[in-house]
Structure 1
Amino acid sequence: MIKFLFLTFLMLSIGSTLHAQANQAADPGAGVPRELARWRAAHYSNVRYSLSLELTPGAQMLKGMMEIRVTLSEGADKIVLDWRVAPVKEGQMKPRVWDIALNGTKSDAREVNEHIIIAGAKRGENIVSLKFESPIATSGSAVTRYVDREDKSEYIYTLFVPSDASTAFPCFDQPDLKARFKFEARVPLKWTVISNASATQSWIIDGGDAHAWFDFHETEPISTYLFAFAAGPFVEIEDKTSAIPMRLFVRKSKEEKARQEAAEVFRLNRECLKFLAGYFDYKFPFPKYDLVIVPEFAYRGMEHAGATFLREESILFPTEPTANDFLSRANVIFHEAAHQWFGDLVTMRWFDDLWLKEGFAEFMSFKALEAIMPEFNAWKAFYERTKPAAYLTDATKGTTPIYQEIPNLSAAKSAYGNIVYRKAPSLLRQAEFYLGADKFQKAVQLFLKEHAYGNAEWGDLVKAFEKTSGQKLDAWAAAWVKRRGMPEVRARGALMLPAKDLVGVSLPQRNVLDEGGLWPMRLKVLVVFTDGTKQTETVLIQGEPDEDQTQSRIRVLLSRPKREIAYIFPNYEDYGYGRFLLDDRSRNYVLAHLGEEKDEFQRALLWGSLWDSVREAELPPLDYIELAIKNLGIERDEVTAQSILNRVSIAFNAYLNAEQQKEVAPRLEQMLSDGMLKSEKQGLRITYFRAFQAMAKTDEARGKLKEILTGKLSVPGLSLRPRDRFDIITALMTRGDADAITLLEAQSKSETTDDARRYAYAAGAARGTAENKQKYFDAFLNDTTLAESWIEASVNP
């Protein structure tokens, strides 16, 4: 019994620590090379880990022992485990593995190139047992410690994605060697442990040292990066109305706030799981689903099977929330829930298909939003919040294809970014429209059922698409997944055919990188007439190139009643992906009549297309700012207002010269101030308040910010929180305001919580001296106690 074995670990061990040995010709390279992973996947199966840990407050090292069961096929006579030891700095303890035994006999294992190689394995089941110690740190470690300065409580949590489990314990750290985990942990008496499976709990009195023992049930087959645990004096909040066992865990000092938000968090989670089970035609794939709110977590969320970890600020708002904040929270809850099917139930075979799980999770989060929170106009929000970052990256020479070759998992973290998280879901939105919603959904259902609790590749999903649609999709898939960049489509002047009452619309497509290659795409083309009537036509651009392989042209014939065309828009309802530009005639009309467009989604698309014209130097940035000053008041949707204000801030702060800024600043600041103080909706007032901080250029505007900070001026409905106060100081620091440093010092003395200290640290980074920038840069590189969340807050614009 592993608990009995673990107790023996507390006594003196017999045996020597594993030593590094010289390389042999057949030894695998460092990291997890693709060749090693393929060999192991072909020869290893039926993997099981039994893991027993001791978690001690303040300890530098995680102490544990484990038993690994693996079945070897013919042609394999060794077991190659991954074990990565990071460089150890002076004063730190070195990770180690010892007492390695194979099938009950002490093994002469070798440690080489971040692997443990155990010779003499037999065909069939083999059992490896070992003991290990690995680091626990406040930053830069797969096992992280957080000490809450408000009550001195300590919390420990893991983050193993993409291949960091092997820095915590030896394992086969590749996604296509799924395993069942049996886990138990010895912790202080008042601690709770959360992991992928449910647990029984017992208390043991051992020589006066009271401690708790958590013994977890064995998991379903999961990849090593999806195994996780969190431990500490968490407060547990249970959803007693859910058909799926569901709990929320939060640190003690945030209990009151979490209880205020728990009902809505549970509602969103319940409704999302119900929607996804229906859409996928597959019940929730794990026995329970816990949400663990983790302070200073590196990501917004991480989809560990049955136990999602969420960044605290993603769930418990640090400022007065707007519609955008509520949308962001729903998005991360829905995204991580979708991963339980796409990523956990079915996992990509290798991280070159990382985009597949991330793209589907984000796409399905907006499908869920559409069903659960229709007031947010999900696909308008998708256009405004998800696509801009993808377009920003994809228009540059530094972009990559969605599919990225990863020869070694040591490089897997480089695959994360806007293309994976933003372009991939945009491709799936186009794929659904291209194939048809029913055929797309049936293919997804087929894919999940065929590969449940296993691994799959993008090609497997393409086969499912082909099966349900009856189409051959090789060329379509290759264009979107293997080609970098994006198309540019511009609806060019109408060809009038009065005898037939027809109008011909030309839709040339080109690669924005001028690298050749085009994209097959289905679009809705919108023609708007001057009397306000509209006409749409669905068209298929097959991506057939002209002679120089750089453009594709298609002409669409539309019925043309005897009316004058106002403008033509090539991507109505935003099913396409790319840069969709207005021709000169259409752009001039839209500039003059933007406020007359009643369709909020279409108006948002026009704002975006005009912004593309700014970035393509077809529209002066000052004209866009003037358009916003004139028309932004009609936008009652907070998501749209923030999207436009973000663009205005870029145009004002980055695109205008000093003289232009000086000329337009008073009118721009007045518009923002009016929105901040006079908008009917509280969320809009807060949205304008945040934008006012970003664009407060004049002495008068900065004075108004100081009045808000001191309480002399208030924004109706806004209760200033510590984050707001430090954000104001950051804005003043960025502008070089003479009072900023004094204000920061005073605020830092009055606000001393963990969160406030992080805000203060980030605000200090805005001080614009070379010495200050060097100080922060040195800390980023050398201070091992500096949490990643502090660094992230300091480098954000």
Structure 2
Amino acid sequence: MKKIRLLALSFVVFSSVYHAQMKSLSKIESGVSYELAQLRKSTLRDIKYELNLKIPENKSERISGTEVLTFTYKKQNEAFLLIDFKEDPSSLLSVSVNGQAIQPVLENEHVVIDTKYLKSGSNQINFNFLAGNGALNRRDGYLYALFVPDRARTMFPCFDQPNLKANYSLTLTIPEKWSAIANGKLKETIVQQGQKTLSFNQSDLLPTYLFSFAAGDFKNHTEKISQQDSRILYRETDSTKIKNSMDSIFTLYRNSLAYYENWTGIKHPFQKHGLVSIPDFQFGGMEHPGAILFQNSTLFLDANATQSQLNNRSNLIAHEVAHLWFGDMVTMDWFNDVWMKEVFANFMADKSTGASSDKSAYDLKFLTTHFPAAYSVDRTLGANPIRQILDNLKNAGMMYGPIIYNKAPIMMRQLELLIGEEDFRKGVNEYLTKYAYNNASWPDLISILDNHTPKDLQSWNKVWVNDPGRPVIDYDLKYKGDKIEHFTISQKPEYGKEQKSWPQEFEISLFYADRVEKVKVKLDGKQQEVSELKGKVKPLFILQNSSGIGYGVFRTDKAVMSDFSLVKDPINRASAYISLYENMLNGTGANPQEVLHFFAEQLPKETTELNLRLISGYISFIYWNFLSESSRLKESGNIENALWKALQVQTTKNNKKIVFDGYQGIFQSQQAYDTLYSVWKSQKPPQDVSLNDEDYTNLALALSLRNPNNKDLLQEQLTRIKNPDRVNRFKIIMQAASSDQKIRDDFFNGLMQKQNRTNESAVGSALSYLHHPLRQQTSIHYLPKALDVLQEIQKTGDIFFPDNWLRSTFGSYQNPKALDVVNQFLLKNPDYNAILKNKILQATDNLRRAQILVK
């Protein structure tokens, strides 16, 4: 009787504990919630990972792995320790905790460890697992690990949050002919039975998103960086590009490194340097210390590269090297401050590359690089602030975009102007020193900068960092005779009724037949009298923000266009081009056809390469987005002629190439088709225009859109491509460009399967051909399904893919039916993810504006 009672009591206790545990398990949230991250930060330290991976050459075979995870644990009252692993339970083969084998439990993307197996102090957990492929980017002949922002957990069990930095010891077993690189220095290589085992030194202290490796059939090139042998792995096959680029790549890297060491006063903070050039890389680059990944097409250029291509390469390298201090050494505490690492990387890259050029060249590059891109989002109804709210790391990827890459550097420049360059530098250096190899937040930086200026940074911070949108800046002008009696500037938000103002500096220029008079303005409030202009003689026209430093929609009169020959300064011209375009979009300036004609008139006159590229891009945008189909047909001959005339008039090879690309982008006439087909077929471009293999591929695709039976054309182009990675890319894109509707349908329907979206760069390009304006009558029916799959795209794709998917799909539509699809989707999904909804509104902004602007 006593035994029965004890058994009954034991059963009751067991049942109570079991049900309590099951109830607790049911509350486990997928991803990494802010609450989970905070709990683990308070209980874990001294984290180390020892990983051993066996990588087969065949990408369809699974990668097997073992892991030793050690950490110091502060035991509290929680029932479980959660370790992140976003994989099928069958991939978790075995688990042991402190030497005791336990039954693996994988619940809602977390390995669940009962705390009864753990102790306060040092702990060790061993895993046998099959690595997930989601972030390993396995291609034919190579792979690369890309774990930002929360994708390390798709490959191995880990604490996947940025403020739990760890050391990583990695061993890779790979095919003998392969090469590999990782964060740590290569320690040992053992070759046996056609396999090669590489052991790497323990890495420096890193968050999970910066742990990385690449392995595959790469070529190796080694040069000295800081007296240390440093490798680049690459797959480029064009010997001319390799010869023309390799020295430049390493020189740009060394120059950036030297600039940052000098500016910060801190030597390179990691144990080694290493670069990997990735074909069809879905990012520009990724800043893993010792194994920085770069987009191959940006690094390797031929001798005829344009200034824009050269700028892109120097900016990319400078950006990724800057991250070694900003993001890698000092890392954001939570991914809501991911923008901090990106703003500093871009801002410092601009400083680094600007140090080797004159100030005007730097200012023009800054203006044309950042402002149009920032405006492309900040002008929309879906605009997001620089600093956003983040509840779970599974949503962190959606925080990336032009606001953090382009608006944030503009904001930082204004902050530097507000504080003063030297005090700003002192504050940043104090921040880097204080938080070296640790984590910090934006408020941490602001509190330090506050000590270096009497300005009110908190109110400044609200409008620039915490709020979305931009100001509309107008002026009220009155004359007395031929003299200015008063000149008042006013600003208001582009959207909403909230009264706020953006403190900032900019310049106003008064243009006369024989001179230009400039006044600097420090705008601080809703309205401000510019007393310096009182008594000035009436000018022919006024150009606000002539130096291009100010941010917002600056009222620009049509008179600027009629007397534009007076605008001699390239920066003044670039600022005017941007303002004319932005005012056109807002319906407050010249209409689309007037602006199109003006830009076309400038094509033979604009000799500054960056400006020519800017207006050439604007011509394409206006032509395809804001002219009706009938208007396009009327205008096409004139625009083609203007571009072809400019091709003859422009004198530099780079400018001629820009104009040729513009012609190739908008042509519609049979005569233009015949001319370009002849260029492609004979591979003989117009005089002084240099075309490489990729240029001929792009030309073939442009021709294919105008060819009702393009199978032979595309097949011939395919046979011309020799690089295997570029062959694979073209095979994807040619399906979307096909004149056969069934092939296009099959291609799009195939994208509903995850495995057909793995090459995100190629898929994004393919979608732009699928939805090209010349194809939209037969492509509009894809739009509902493109929206339906968006959340799946976000869950399975990399950080830029949802935006790329949306912009490549909706970016050129003006049909009201396309807008109806968007509106109906949003109405049917009132509780849709707020960040993704904003992405939709951003990508369809031109479509909305077209309903008003297209006549």
TM-score by length of 1: 0.88
> Aligned residue for 1:40?
40
**Are the counterparts in 2 of residues 355 and 420 from structure 1 also a CA contact under 8 Å?**
yes
Q: List aligned pairs for 1:498-647, cutoff 5 A.
A: 504-543=486-525, 552-560=526-534, 563-582=537-556, 587-617=557-587, 618-647=589-618
Q: Measured at CA, do residues 249 and 668 of structure 1 come closer, stay the same or move farther in structure 2, by a change above 3 Å?
A: same
Q: Measured at CA, do residues 588 and 669 of structure 1 come closer, stay the same or move farther in structure 2, by a change above 3 Å?
A: same
In the TM superposition, residue 732 of structure 1 has moved relative to its aligned partner by 2.7
> Aligned residue for 1:52?
52
> Aligned residue for 2:231?
247
Note if 1:80 corresponds to 2:82: yes
In the TM superposition, residue 515 of structure 1 has moved relative to its aligned partner by 4.1
Q: Measured at CA, do residues 712 and 163 of structure 1 come closer, stay the same or move farther in structure 2, by a change above 3 Å?
A: closer
**Are the counterparts in 2 of residues 30 and 113 from structure 1 also a CA contact under 8 Å?**
yes
Note if 1:793 corresponds to 2:770: no
In the TM superposition, residue 783 of structure 1 has moved relative to its aligned partner by 5.8
In the TM superposition, residue 728 of structure 1 has moved relative to its aligned partner by 1.9
What secondary structure sits across from 1:145 in the alignment?
coil
Bigger drift between 357-366 and 782-791 goes to 782-791
**Are the counterparts in 2 of residues 55 and 187 from structure 1 also a CA contact under 8 Å?**
yes
Q: Measured at CA, do residues 108 and 567 of structure 1 come closer, stay the same or move farther in structure 2, by a change above 3 Å?
A: same
Q: List aligned pairs for 1:332-347, cutoff 5 A.
A: 332-347=316-331
Q: Which amino acid aligns with 1:690?
A: D
Match of 2:182 among 185, 195, 219: 195
> Aligned residue for 1:746?
716
Q: List aligned pairs for 1:235-634, cutoff 5 A.
A: 235-240=219-224, 242-243=226-227, 245-251=229-235, 253=237, 257-317=241-301, 320-374=304-358, 377-494=361-478, 504-543=486-525, 552-560=526-534, 563-582=537-556, 587-617=557-587, 618-634=589-605
In the TM superposition, residue 562 of structure 1 has moved relative to its aligned partner by 5.3
Q: Which amino acid aligns with 1:166?
A: R
Give the whole-Å Cα distance in 2 for the aligned partners of 1:516 and 1:65. Answer: 56
Give the whole-Å Cα distance in 2 for the aligned partners of 1:767 and 1:654. Answer: 23
**Are the counterparts in 1 of residues 145 and 212 from structure 2 also a CA contact under 8 Å?**
yes
Give the whole-Å Cα distance in 2 for the aligned partners of 1:95 and 1:723. Answer: 43
In the TM superposition, residue 40 of structure 1 has moved relative to its aligned partner by 0.4
Q: Which amino acid aligns with 1:507?
A: I
> Aligned residue for 2:123?
126
Note if 1:113 corresponds to 2:113: no
In the TM superposition, residue 98 of structure 1 has moved relative to its aligned partner by 3.1
In the TM superposition, residue 511 of structure 1 has moved relative to its aligned partner by 0.9
**Are the counterparts in 1 of residues 607 and 650 from structure 2 also a CA contact under 8 Å?**
no
Match of 1:176 among 131, 148, 163: 163
Which 5+ residue runs of structure 1 have no aligned equivalent? 1-20, 87-93, 148-153, 544-551
Q: Measured at CA, do residues 680 and 403 of structure 1 come closer, stay the same or move farther in structure 2, by a change above 3 Å?
A: same
Q: Measured at CA, do residues 253 and 589 of structure 1 come closer, stay the same or move farther in structure 2, by a change above 3 Å?
A: closer
Give the whole-Å Cα distance in 1 for the aligned partners of 2:569 and 2:691. Answer: 35
> Aligned residue for 1:679?
650
Bigger drift between 442-451 and 653-662 goes to 653-662
Deviations 1:510-545 (A, max 9, x none): 1111242423322223231424433434333334xx
Give the whole-Å Cα distance in 1 for the aligned partners of 2:524 and 2:535. Answer: 28
Q: Which amino acid aligns with 1:328?
A: N
Q: Which amino acid aligns with 1:519?
A: S
Q: Which amino acid aligns with 1:118?
A: I
What secondary structure sits across from 1:331 in the alignment?
helix
What secondary structure sits across from 1:31 in the alignment?
coil
What secondary structure sits across from 1:30 in the alignment?
coil
Note if 1:698 corresponds to 2:669: yes
Q: Which amino acid aligns with 1:335?
A: H
In the TM superposition, residue 247 of structure 1 has moved relative to its aligned partner by 2.1
**Are the counterparts in 2 of residues 480 and 519 from structure 1 also a CA contact under 8 Å?**
no
**Are the counterparts in 2 of residues 685 and 715 from structure 1 also a CA contact under 8 Å?**
no
Deviations 1:297-341 (A, max 9, x none): 221111112221012112124895211111111111111111111
Bigger drift between 596-605 and 97-106 goes to 97-106
Give the whole-Å Cα distance in 1 for the aligned partners of 2:686 and 2:113. Answer: 67
Deviations 1:330-387 (A, max 9, x none): 1111111111111111111111111111122112211112113449812212221222
**Are the counterparts in 2 of residues 491 and 568 from structure 1 also a CA contact under 8 Å?**
no
In the TM superposition, residue 646 of structure 1 has moved relative to its aligned partner by 0.6
Give the whole-Å Cα distance in 2 for the aligned partners of 1:633 and 1:763. Answer: 34
Bigger drift between 261-270 and 77-86 goes to 77-86
Give the whole-Å Cα distance in 2 for the aligned partners of 1:108 and 1:145. Answer: 31
> Aligned residue for 1:103?
98
Q: Measured at CA, do residues 773 and 509 of structure 1 come closer, stay the same or move farther in structure 2, by a change above 3 Å?
A: farther
Q: Measured at CA, do residues 363 and 241 of structure 1 come closer, stay the same or move farther in structure 2, by a change above 3 Å?
A: closer
What secondary structure sits across from 2:622 in the alignment?
helix
Bigger drift between 53-62 and 243-252 goes to 243-252
Q: Matched residue pairs, number?
A: 742
**Are the counterparts in 2 of residues 53 and 64 from structure 1 also a CA contact under 8 Å?**
yes
Q: Which amino acid aligns with 1:456?
A: A
In the TM superposition, residue 195 of structure 1 has moved relative to its aligned partner by 0.5
Q: Measured at CA, do residues 628 and 255 of structure 1 come closer, stay the same or move farther in structure 2, by a change above 3 Å?
A: closer
**Are the counterparts in 1 of residues 367 and 549 from structure 2 also a CA contact under 8 Å?**
no
**Are the counterparts in 2 of residues 187 and 212 from structure 1 also a CA contact under 8 Å?**
yes
Q: Which amino acid aligns with 1:556?
A: V
Q: Which amino acid aligns with 1:555?
A: E
Deviations 1:600-638 (A, max 9, x none): 111111111111222122202222222223233222222
Deviations 1:272-293 (A, max 9, x none): 1111111222211112111101
**Are the counterparts in 2 of residues 581 and 612 from structure 1 also a CA contact under 8 Å?**
no
Give the whole-Å Cα distance in 1 for the aligned partners of 2:626 and 2:183. Answer: 49
Deviations 1:558-606 (A, max 9, x none): 1556532233333242222221222xxxx23311221221111111111
In the TM superposition, residue 142 of structure 1 has moved relative to its aligned partner by 0.6
Give the whole-Å Cα distance in 1 for the aligned partners of 2:217 and 2:680. Answer: 36
Q: Measured at CA, do residues 381 and 466 of structure 1 come closer, stay the same or move farther in structure 2, by a change above 3 Å?
A: same
Give the whole-Å Cα distance in 2 for the aligned partners of 1:204 and 1:525. Answer: 65
TM-score by length of 2: 0.82
Deviations 1:727-784 (A, max 9, x none): 22322333x3346443223322443543144235324423577645432221222161
Note if 1:146 corresponds to 2:139: yes
Give the whole-Å Cα distance in 2 for the aligned partners of 1:751 and 1:189. Answer: 28
Give the whole-Å Cα distance in 2 for the aligned partners of 1:415 and 1:289. Answer: 29
Match of 2:619 among 612, 629, 648: 648
In the TM superposition, residue 443 of structure 1 has moved relative to its aligned partner by 1.6
Deviations 1:137-190 (A, max 9, x none): xxxx2112222xxxxxx2121111111101110000000101111112222223
Give the whole-Å Cα distance in 2 for the aligned partners of 1:375 and 1:243. Answer: 32
> Aligned residue for 2:172?
185
Q: Which amino acid aligns with 1:37?
A: A
Q: Which amino acid aligns with 2:110?
A: H
Give the whole-Å Cα distance in 2 for the aligned partners of 1:293 and 1:665. Answer: 40
Which 5+ residue runs of structure 2 have no aligned equivalent? 1-20, 769-807, 809-855
Q: Which amino acid aligns with 1:608?
A: I
Q: Measured at CA, do residues 794 and 95 of structure 1 come closer, stay the same or move farther in structure 2, by a change above 3 Å?
A: farther
What secondary structure sits across from 1:163 in the alignment?
coil
**Structure with more helix by fraction:** 2
Give the whole-Å Cα distance in 1 for the aligned partners of 2:293 and 2:187. Answer: 21
Q: Measured at CA, do residues 669 and 567 of structure 1 come closer, stay the same or move farther in structure 2, by a change above 3 Å?
A: same
**Are the counterparts in 2 of residues 675 and 684 from structure 1 also a CA contact under 8 Å?**
no
**% identical equivalent positions:** 26
- RMSD across aligned C-alpha pairs, in angstroms? 2.5
Deviations 1:55-88 (A, max 9, x none): 22115222111111111225266432101016xx
